[in-house]
Every structure is written in structure tokens, then in C-alpha cells.
Amino acid sequence: MFEMRSVPIFGSALVLCALSLALVPASAADDEAAAPARLAPPSSDLKDFAGYYRPDYLKPLVKSAVGTSGPIQTVDHQMPPFTPKASAEFNYRLSKEQAGMPVMDTTPQAGLPSACLVGFLSPVLVIANRQQMFFIFESGAAPIWRIHLDRDHPKKLAPSTNGDSVGHWEGNTLVVDTRGFNTSGHLDLVGTPFSRDLHTVTRISKINGGHQLEFLITVNDPENFTQPFTTRYTAAWRPDERLMENEIDAPPPGAPPGDPP
């Protein structure tokens, strides 16, 4: 009796299971960005970005190091509109990268956030207080992206490694203006160059019900690009992540003395 009753119940369960599998959207099932279902959901506040994310992989346009999204690419998946000089520089660096001698091994200056979003694909923590929002990337020589929310750029802007970033809200999008770099460097880990005149506008929004952050970065640097262009990268909500330590053990020769106690 038990077995006779259990069969239809088991069969119903199978049907339900099959139905539920069939009803799962293919995009969600295949989406690497989707966080495991057991994880805490993101805040429903679309202006609350706080928490951990992991940059999503984007298929590189050229052969690139494994585990990276390669060089920066435009929102419509094209190479940036290089000036001839920048093109030559990029191609030289790309050849070094593909020969196993990436320039990032010797030239550390990578721009935030693009280099961290496309290059390392390692976790990022977002935390904010009343005055500032921080994107803290696990990897990178200068991994802290500080966005001032309560002031404009200083009139006398002292150039710095990561430039000066100020943000304001347009609806639920944080619009971040960054300028004032103190050196030339790379927009990615392959070697897309930027100059001290680099100016970026980054529009950051929660998408996909808050399960992803979208970064639309408009890059303007006439020395290296014939016109401004926009990139698009995303990062997935990952409350199970944490930031590991980024070791810098080897001091550079000739570095200024520190200030130990």
C-alpha cells in the first residue's frame, strides 16, 4: 500500500522538479555573475552599493592572460580609438604580454577602476559613509578608489596616483568624475596607455535586481584616443567574498625612507 501511494508522490516530485528546472531562465542558469542562491540578497536600496562584488569576465578581444578580460574594450566590443602613437605603444605592450613578459611586471601604474575591473577579476568591497564612497579592490598597487560625495574637485588639484574622484547621484546612478593623475599609466593590465590629462566619468548603477553593479566608464584622453569612448563592465554581488591581503614585500631600491616607530 505504501509503495503504491509513494509512486505517484515520487512521480509528482519528479514532474515538479523537471518543471522547475525547465522554468529556470537559461540566462540565469548560465550567468556566471549570478550569485549562489543561498547567499544573502543585496539591499533593495538602489543607492546602497555596500558589500562585496566580483568583476564579471568579459571575453577579451585579443589573446590575453588567462583569468583576465584582456585589454579595455569599448561598450560595443571594439578596440579603443587609439591615436597612432598610442596604438604603437599598445601593440608593443601587447606583444610583450603575449610573449609572456607583461609590462605590468615592471610598470605598476594601472588606472582605477578600469584596470581592476578588467585585469584582476578579484573581489572588490564597497563601503561608504556620509562623505565618501570607497571601492577597495583586493589587487593592485594602489587599490583604494575614494569617491568624495560632499565636495567638488579642489581648485588647486594636487596630482595623485589615483586622481581625484567626486561623485553625485543622478537618480539611482552614482556619477563619478575623475581627473588629476600624477603620472601616465595603463587603463588595464595589458597596457592601454593613459596620460596625465586622463579624465573619466564613471556611471555606477545597480542592475539585475541589485545582483550586479554596472560601470559605464567614459574615457577622455586626447593624447591617446582620437575621441572619448565608453566601456562597460559589471561586477556580481558576492556577499560570501572577502578581501585577501595584497602583499608588497619587496621594497624598491631608492624608495624614500619610511617612518617606523
Partner 1 sequence: MNSLRLTGRRVPRTCSRAAWLLSSWLCGVTLAQNPPDLNGVWQLSSPVPALMKTADGQEPALNEHAQAIYSQHRAAYQAGDRSFDAAANGCGDPGMPRIMMMSDRFEIVQDADRVVTLFARGNRFRVVELKRSLDPVDLFYFGNPNGHWDHSELVVESSDFRESSFIDAAGMPHSDAMTLTERYRLSKGGKELIDQITVSDPKTFKTPWTVIMRYRKLPSHTELLPADQQVNCAPPTPKGSSQGGG
Query: How many of the chain's residues bind partner 1 (CB under 8 A)?
Result: 55
- The closest of 205, 143, 218 to 172, measured between CA atoms, is 205
Q: Which of residues 196-225 bind partner 1 (CB under 8 A)?
A: none
Nearer to partner 1, 177 or 241 (CB): 241
83 belongs to the binding site for partner 1 (CB under 8 A): no
State in angstroms the smallest separation of the CB of 161 from partner 1. 5
100 belongs to the binding site for partner 1 (CB under 8 A): no
Nearer to partner 1, 25 or 261 (CB): 261
Q: Which of these ranges, 21-29, 90-98, 167-175, 201-209, lies near partner 1 under the rule CB under 8 A?
A: 90-98
- List the one residue from 7, 28, 144, 207 that touches partner 1 (CB under 8 A): 144
Binding mask 230-259 for partner 1 (x = CB under 8 A): ------------xxxxxxxxxxxxxxxxxx
191 belongs to the binding site for partner 1 (CB under 8 A): yes
Q: Which of these ranges, 11-19, 126-134, 204-212, 228-236, lies near partner 1 under the rule CB under 8 A?
A: 126-134
DSSP the chain: -HHHHHHHHHHHHHHHHHHHHHHS-HHHHH-TTSPPTTSPPPPS-TT---EEEEEPP---SS---TTS--S---TTS----B-HHHHHHHHHHHHHHHTT--GGGT---B-TTHHIIIII---EEEEE-SSEEEEEESSSSS-EEEEESS----SS---BTT-EEEEEEETTEEEEEEE-BSS-EESSSS--EE-TT-EEEEEEEEEGGGTEEEEEEEEE-TTTBSS-EEEEEEEEE-TT--PPP----SPPTTPPP----
Which positions ≥6 away from 179 have C-beta within 8 Å?
153, 157, 163, 164, 198, 199, 200
Q: Which three cell numbers stand for residue 77?
A: 566590443
- List the one residue from 12, 28, 45, 85 that touches partner 1 (CB under 8 A): 85
Nearer to partner 1, 58 or 102 (CB): 102
132 belongs to the binding site for partner 1 (CB under 8 A): yes
Q: How far apart are CA 8 and CA 70, in angstroms?
A: 53
36 belongs to the binding site for partner 1 (CB under 8 A): no
161 belongs to the binding site for partner 1 (CB under 8 A): yes
Nearer to partner 1, 142 or 216 (CB): 142
State in angstroms the smallest separation of the CB of 175 from partner 1. 21
State in angstroms the smallest separation of the CB of 260 from partner 1. 4
Q: Which residues bind partner 1 (CB under 8 A)?
A: 50-51, 85, 88-89, 91-93, 96, 103, 105-109, 125, 127-132, 134, 136, 141-144, 151, 158-161, 182, 191, 242-261
